[in-house]
Amino acid sequence: MAAHKGETNTTQPSLPLHNLHPFQYFCILDDMPMNFFKSFLASCLGSLVAFVLAFLLLFGLLAGMIGAAVSDNGNDGKVPINDNSVLHLKLDVPITEAEIENPFAGLPLPGATEHAISLLEFKRVISAAADDPKIAGIYLDISMFMSGFATAKEMRESLLAFRKAGKWVVAYSETMSESAYYIASAADKVYLNPEGDLEFNGLSVEVSFFKKLLDKLDIKPEIFRVGDFKSAVEPFMLDKMSDANRLQLNELITGINNEMIKEIAASRNIEESKLKEVSDKMLATTLYEARKHHLIDSLVYYDQVLADVGKRLGVSDENDIDFVKYNKYKKSVSGYKTSENEIAVIVAEGEIMPGKAEPGIIGSSTFAKEIRKARTSKKVKAIVLRINSPGGSALASDVMWREVTLAAKEKPVIASMGDYAASGGYYIAMGANTIVAEPNTITGSIGVFSVLFDMSGFLGNKIGVTFDEVKTGDVGELMTVTRPLTEQEKRIWQKRTDAIYETFTTKAADGRQMNVDDLRKVASGRVWTGTQGKERGLVDELGGFEDAVKIAAQKAGVADNYRVRFYPKQKTFFEQWLNDLEENAETTMLRKELGENYQMIEHIKKIKSYQGAQARMPFELKIR
């Protein structure tokens, strides 16, 4: 039996410690001899000191390794580049707008994944390489591309500009996806492994539908929308595409595919109609047929590619080829030019939500603050909004729109659209003085929907939780998942949704200087490519980020003297690393606890994010 405080018996308890009540455990410790505590505390202190010293030692060792790699023989972080070097571009990595430097990339540490590549930084680096006499050419290594077609186009154009500078690009891989080949087709020579694979059969879109899942879970969506094409809610109410959604998706990917075919045909010197036939009918089923139709130049092995590169450099031994990796080379490239005149580039990438920005989240309070700072700063002469977003919260979009319109009254504001600038993403852009989009940017989707989920069936029938409500008037809690909405409450939600659409279209028409009725003819939630958007007055110019910066500088009268700075300030690698570790730990625990039910929980979490009024793209696009 356990001894308690006040008793004289100080012998060991007969029960093991883990079987005792916490209070009993406390009482036992309180009665133990003092020398036990001294030993125990000394042991804890020693362990703590050892842990701290080990951590500092490990950190110092890693810092030394990284410092040595970065400084490259003590050159203060500036990496020396040898003459006749070849820039090795491996593009099978995530492509983002902004970049967070990862000093542990390549090391065997949790979170030390391969570098993501910033599109905007990539364009600057390739431009520098084109002017660098030490870089003879580019070896392009790409099999899968992890971004959209507008991003692919901008990267492709950088490679074409590199070639126009009189330099060469050689592309080689064992396999290539459609989008990877699109980029590789900008090279002088496109090589594939004889036993590899090439995908060249046009584009397709796959949309996920959750109606049957919701039926099984006894969850009922309550949907309010404006616009025949605002189909973001279709996955919750249908098990296949509506005719309207099928129409817009077909026209969208046809437009993107036609643009891609046109550019590949020009680069490969193939008749456009012939190339389209090869794509539509998948005539290049094998690599030998791909070579026959001039999609690729040769089927070779890696050593043969090295022989080709060596010949271009004038060396006979492949060991004499000096390859320099992208992440190393960019350390040798000077930063953006300095000037007292600043073009502020505010990067908006991800889903639009109220509050602070996080990776993958455009937080309205963060971005409104950044736009406000740029507007009031005397050194900022113009603002470029770099937008890559499918939309999100209607309220958050409007908060940022307000700051954009205020800034546009005082200095030039140019919107530069990436892969997506749709719905809420377009809402932000429409307040700018000029909108610039790539031909295959996905934009428009001017529409609004509201959705709530009646989970009373799931809660009551599946897990046995019920709710009841007391209210003072006819209308109860409008944002609820514990009961179905009343008919009166449904009318309120539809009225609110209609009002937001009215606001969206009125402000869009004002920003685009269009008649509201004309604007609504191209709204109704429908998405367009950048080319289609320009034809309909939703876009001013077709072009990329650099074009937007040049327009901003010209409108500000500083075309010959300006510098570019990016906002908001990105999280440091360590901040993001710790955040990722925490998220990964939580995910691992959930997977372990829930097993096969984990995916169901993930779907429910995603459903929750759709609650309320949304200015969101009408589908989640997965182009293959």
Annotated catalytic residues are 230, 423
Q: What is the 3-state secondary structure (H, E, C) of 30-73?
A: HHCCHHHHHHHHHHHHHHHHHHHHHHHHHHHHHHHHHHHHHHCC
Contact 409, 371 (CB under 8 A): no
Please report, as a single letter, which amino acid is at residue 90.
K
Is residue 13 classed exposed, middle or buried when 0-12, 13-18 and 19+ CB atoms within 10 A define those classes? Answer: middle
Is residue 227 classed exposed, middle or buried when 0-12, 13-18 and 19+ CB atoms within 10 A define those classes? Answer: buried
Strand extents, DSSP E, 408-516: 413-422, 434-437, 442-444, 448-454
- Written as six digits, the tokens of 214 are 């919701």
- Taking the C-alpha atoms of residue 401 and residue 412, their distance in angstroms, rounded to an integer, is 15
306 Cβ contact list (under 8 Å, min separation 6) = 318, 321
Alpha carbon 303 to chain centroid, angstroms:
36
Q: Is 137 helix (H, G, I), strand (E, B) or coil?
A: strand
Give 360's DSSP letter: T
Give 89's DSSP letter: E
Q: What is the 3-state secondary structure (H, E, C) of 279-347?
A: HHCCCCCCHHHHHHCCCCCEECCHHHHHHHHHHHHCCCCHHHCEEEEHHHHHHHCCCCCCCCCEEEEEE
Edge-to-edge strands of the sheet including 85-90? 298-299, 189-198, 168-176, 135-141, 85-90, 322-325
- Taking the C-alpha atoms of residue 520 and residue 533, their distance in angstroms, rounded to an integer, is 13
Phi, psi of 414 (to 5 degrees): -115, 130
| Residue 213: its H or E element | helix 211-217
- Taking the C-alpha atoms of residue 83 and residue 322, their distance in angstroms, rounded to an integer, is 9
Phi, psi of 499 (to 5 degrees): -65, -40
- Written as six digits, the tokens of 414 are 């140019």
372 Cβ contact list (under 8 Å, min separation 6) = 403, 406, 407
C-alpha distances out from residue 145 to 181, 182, 356, 574, Å: 9, 10, 30, 27
- Written as six digits, the tokens of 608 are 């929750």
Phi, psi of 210 (to 5 degrees): -115, 10
| Residue 391: its H or E element | strand 391-393
Contact 19, 25 (CB under 8 A): no
The structure tokens 């934009």 sit at 443
